[in-house]
Structure 1
């Protein structure tokens, strides 16, 4: 039987395929945009893991590619957003391809005649068939609803999309594109190495992790959305109550709820509030309980040191430990990830078409 760990282990190969086939996969979108006026914004409409994927690449899209990026939840977009940007490209993301509110958001955009494209796991889906341009997510069939492969391939697809749109509008040069793609290639072996390190770390700390029933994850910059995705993965897979925070916000109101029944993770990258991250971790370790820094700016005891090889795309390296930890906690708690916990919810509300 395919395990969720098997899905995680397929990620490096799928990322390589996405990079190698990007010219073919994104050609339809680029041809579509070439015939239109230049966009001034990309608006991503998505929920859950798909939302986190778009949030993950927002900083890259704006700061490297020079394109403003906005994120909107489908329910807010459909029911509570009145004025839409006529110069934007609307990107509707749904891994299953049949999320009801994402479809309704697409219809809203199309009725106004605005530019749109979909990103779905299969091009043979109602959302993909309805969009002006359909892009394949790159994950193929993912055996579990708790998306690990889907998150990573969506992030990768969005990175490639931003690069190609930026090149189309001359926001970046061909040399910069080559440098970015070379840097992306550093991920493939790195993800395998990080998975191995995480498993070793997990077995060393398994007892401390298993005896706690809550989790908090904190990070800053583009690792904050990685923390949010970690939050969802642990909450839906283990399952246990989790919360994620931007690093500075973490030490305001939330610290009043810190206690020893909570596992604390801080995702930390050198040069990005690393001293603040270490100070918070030291406080938790000394005064509260279990805390681990994950990254290349660690303190030693209980921390999980990883050394990302990618300059621009290390978000995909930082999510790997949290994907592995979420799976191992779920497995060691005896969770059957093929079975929904509250399957009866579908009697009350329908999320798909």
Structure 2
């Protein structure tokens, strides 16, 4: 099921781009100088990954927070000019819904980004900015992650063009980059599929996994860790490179599996891999090839420093690990361990 959703992703991305002018036509005209994004899990990771690019292209402040970090004090500054964006792919998260209501009560403009229409989080919203990714029944979401990142970027693009941060040529260039990225998505998918199958027998024995990524891919790093944890059902953590070398490395041993997201030619990353290789044989690299690492453990992505491209293709290989490897362990990666968990915890609205 996960693989089918991944293969649907490029067409969903193109659909979202095609509909973006109409979707953001009203909200982009509002007097906004601050955007706050909130959501849990994958929804938060979407905002965390694109917030810096959104700042660049919109020319305004953009911040991503988990719902539990949202307070009245955080929202008190210039609430009337703040766009508060609540994200929930299923649209039924009570934690997101509750802080959206609080933001509205404090005077913020409130928008929802759900992956379905008539969602719970649409109720308190002034602007319903539905993510046109379609239904995703797998517990571990994939196409929704890419689609939400794109929806957020297109929101920022619309605002940036409206307020003069971007001229028409700059706007068109970014749109073209996003379209080209969608066109290349399946090429990376099929290459990643081969790489995962070549390493699957080793990966199924992973006892604990660390994902290490550069700051440009921090949201993708967190999302990769979450997806592996949900599907592999072993301890998984994700760290930005600088944070990892400030102490996390102490926990690496012969049982550790390390996956490095390596979009740059930073020589320190290769040095880190060389040091860690003295402690574990289970190191894999996605991105720039690392010399000295076994050939089959390098999944090379030729992308240069194209941030937008990298953010939409680097997670693919890890999501395919999530689709393929758990089955070798007797786990259905599309089915949560307890499908009734959120109902028992009353953390999501029951869809009838």
TM-score, structure 1 as length reference: 0.91
2:110 is matched with 116
Q: Displacement of 1:317 after TM fit?
A: 0.9
1:316 is matched with 312
Moved more, 332-341 or 258-267: 332-341
**CA distance 1:145–1:343, change in 2 (3 Å):** closer
2:269 is matched with 277
TM-score, structure 2 as length reference: 0.92
Alignment equivalent of 1:19, drawn from 17, 20, 34: 17
2:282 is matched with 290
1:206-254 Cα offsets, whole Å, 9 max, x none, are 2221122111001112211111000000001122210011101112211
Distance 1:181 1:257 in 2: 42
The answer as to 2:177 corresponding to 1:183 is yes
Alignment equivalent of 2:215, drawn from 221, 224, 228: 221
Distance 1:84 1:352 in 2: 30
Distance 1:126 1:246 in 2: 33
Distance 2:218 2:119 in 1: 31
Moved more, 317-326 or 77-86: 77-86
Contact 1:190–1:309 (CA under 8 A) maintained in structure 2: no
CA RMSD of aligned residues (A): 2.0
Distance 1:17 1:259 in 2: 45
Q: State how 1:148-297 maps to structure 2 within 5 Å.
A: 148-271=142-265, 274-297=266-289
Q: Report how many residues are paired.
A: 344
Distance 1:6 1:52 in 2: 22
1:237-288 Cα offsets, whole Å, 9 max, x none, are 12221001110111221111101212101111135xx211111112222332
Q: Displacement of 1:84 after TM fit?
A: 4.8
**CA distance 1:24–1:347, change in 2 (3 Å):** closer
Distance 1:346 1:103 in 2: 15
The answer as to 2:58 corresponding to 1:83 is no
Q: Displacement of 1:169 after TM fit?
A: 0.8
Distance 1:67 1:156 in 2: 18
2:39 is matched with 46
1:297-341 Cα offsets, whole Å, 9 max, x none, are 433522111123882412011111111112112222221235331
Distance 1:344 1:142 in 2: 17
Q: Displacement of 1:85 after TM fit?
A: 3.9
The answer as to 2:343 corresponding to 1:350 is no
Contact 1:78–1:104 (CA under 8 A) maintained in structure 2: no
Structure 2 residue matching 1:267: 3-state secondary structure? strand
**CA distance 1:347–1:175, change in 2 (3 Å):** closer
Q: Displacement of 1:158 after TM fit?
A: 0.7
Structure 1 residue matching 2:320: 3-state secondary structure? helix
Q: Displacement of 1:81 after TM fit?
A: 5.1
Contact 1:298–1:305 (CA under 8 A) maintained in structure 2: no
**CA distance 1:153–1:294, change in 2 (3 Å):** same
Structure 2 residue matching 1:117: 3-state secondary structure? strand
* Unaligned ranges ≥5, structure 1: none
**CA distance 1:81–1:162, change in 2 (3 Å):** closer
Q: Displacement of 1:133 after TM fit?
A: 0.4
Q: Displacement of 1:345 after TM fit?
A: 4.1
Q: Detail structure 1 runs of 4+ shifted over 6 Å in the superposition.
A: none
